[in-house]
A and B are shown apart, each in its own frame.
Chain A
């Protein structure tokens, strides 16, 4: 917490040059526009992976990770919500393979302050071929995807936010 005010990060993961793998980045860009006035709410897009994500988990009270997941064709565009704390922690042989649950465990063991809330929104995709731009299926589902993740961010904000008469964290949309 900084100045007693909680810090919330919305972290988009993906790779711009792998077609639908960019969805996490695209969604975060959209959310940034929606929540543009919200104080204490930060948006970051990254193509980093593995242990490199550790930096993003320190210093925040809540983190919402927006990533993609490979699914069957009929599930493309679906959004799955996971709580990182409920995911199985699997320590593998290869250090690049540190995933979110492993990073959390590592931080906790080292006594580092980790986010109280860590939610993952995984967007169903199929196409991760090299190329710019989303597939028509994912592009078409984008408004719905953004809306569902916006709701998740709102729910995280209301969970973490202390009673605040000034209305910090409220979105420009909800303020209207």
Chain B
């Protein structure tokens, strides 16, 4: 071969994890921005195609959360063709979706929270990563994680109809029922997953609650923003990943809005900034007041912590216990600490496991009635689910044959970008003074990143799959004076 191949992550670098810091004349931070890419053009790409293709097509938007798009899309199709799936179809969808949420959350918890909670924020940089976390957890625990994840993925493949890419969702239901033999396998995994979730909660408690330094860090002002929160709730205002109404609470914890997915445009608006293609979602009725938190600013937050904040409680007993414990220890609702997202994620894992088991044990789950055939003329369909990173909305409009005329997707990270910018601005203001840049800024930004877990994995797939963080500092004349990389 004898040829050196230089692999630059070009396709991912553009806009990915790029942080721009602009200084004033005194060398203090005027404004810090965070650029995130969007899958531009997808909506246009989908127009003219049959709507039924969307559960498969949108599942390809993201290499990480195919299931979230597949499910939001299937629900949008139910709505589009005005057909309600039979109870068993809904239960199977919710069951597999909870298995997926658990699978996604468990790996993210160990990888995301690992560097900060398991290894510790003050550990040397070389150890503060997933490899360091693996070392600290020990090989046996890691094997347990890998094995649990594998079993959950097998359940997803079994129900999804095809390994990896789900093909189950159809307007009015799903493509195939579950046999009794399959159910037995699923129940076994579901029961084990509850034990695993509890085990993970113990690891979290040990790492956070019993470590004063980390507990203080979670509560620190540097990682706190008083914003609105949004998430799905059921009719009892309990958390639900698969269906319900979208509830919004204000920074004091009071219900601000509760709406059906169809009304999302009355509540959510998109703000555009000249320096990024990303659209910042904000609450229309509050308005865009710039990158500030508080009751007068329409900035909102979605994801695990937001979902717990908007819910009055958890539907399952162990998750409810953990929920009460977290709010008890963090001073009541709502919790505004960004790093508590990791804690909330583990509580959601318990819920996902318990709900997964509950549905797997439901005798109705093996009923062969899994599809109602659509008979209405399609016009408009809107579907919403809670993706691992927050509220995900699919909106389709078609002609009478079901050919797409308009597509709008609001993905979880879009809802969070404004709040992520707040975190970056706060870090920049704390660590850049008089033109001097403290390199600790990277660690602070990384910690906030890990909590939100902004999903960058949209679609492109070229080697080596690395997403760098780049901090660029500009002086008052917009001249680049410093570049920091992780």
Residues of A that sit less than 8 Å from B by CB: 13-18, 21, 24, 44, 46-52, 54-55, 58, 67-70, 80-82, 87, 90-102, 105-106, 109-112, 120, 122, 125, 128-131
Residue ID in chain B nearest A124 by CB atoms: B5
B contact residues around A46 at 8 Å (CB): 164-165
Q: Are A50 and B64 in contact, CB atoms less than 8 angstroms apart? A: yes
Residues of B that sit less than 8 Å from A by CB: 1, 3, 5, 7-8, 10-11, 17, 39, 41-42, 45, 57, 60, 63-64, 66, 107-108, 111-112, 129-131, 134-135, 139, 142-143, 146, 149-150, 153, 163-165, 442, 446, 449-450, 453, 455-457, 459-469, 486
30 pairs, CB–CB < 8 Å, chain A vs chain B: A13-B461, A15-B63, A15-B460, A17-B45, A18-B461, A21-B460, A21-B461, A46-B164, A49-B465, A50-B457, A50-B465, A52-B63, A69-B5, A69-B7, A80-B3, A87-B464, A92-B466, A92-B469, A93-B450, A94-B469, A95-B111, A95-B450, A96-B457, A96-B467, A97-B468, A110-B134, A110-B143, A112-B143, A130-B39, A131-B45
B contact residues around A44 at 8 Å (CB): 163-164
B contact residues around A87 at 8 Å (CB): 464
* B1 CB, nearest partner CB in chain A, Å: 6
B contact residues around A94 at 8 Å (CB): 17, 446, 449-450, 456, 467, 469
* A50 CB, nearest partner CB in chain B, Å: 6
B contact residues around A98 at 8 Å (CB): 111, 130, 465
Residue ID in chain B nearest A18 by CB atoms: B459
Q: Are B64 and A96 in contact, CB atoms less than 8 angstroms apart? A: yes
Residue ID in chain B nearest A82 by CB atoms: B5
Residue ID in chain B nearest A109 by CB atoms: B134
Known: A49-B457, A80-B5, A110-B134. A93 touches B469 (CB 8 A): yes
Q: Are B462 and A69 in contact, CB atoms less than 8 angstroms apart? A: yes
Interchain CA distance A25-B66 in the complex, whole Å: 17
* A163 CB, nearest partner CB in chain B, Å: 28
Q: Are A52 and B64 in contact, CB atoms less than 8 angstroms apart? A: yes
Interchain CA distance A34-B64 in the complex, whole Å: 31
Q: Are A102 and B130 in contact, CB atoms less than 8 angstroms apart? A: yes
Knowing that A16-B60, A81-B1, A112-B146 are A-B contacts, what are 8 other residue pairs whose CB atoms are under 8 Å apart, sorted by A's residue number?
A: A21-B460, A80-B1, A80-B5, A91-B130, A93-B442, A94-B467, A96-B457, A96-B467
Interchain CB contact (< 8 A) of B63 among A49, A67, A69, A101: A49
Q: Are A54 and B146 in contact, CB atoms less than 8 angstroms apart? A: yes
Interchain CA distance A98-B469 in the complex, whole Å: 14
* B51 CB, nearest partner CB in chain A, Å: 16
Q: Are B130 and A106 in contact, CB atoms less than 8 angstroms apart? A: yes
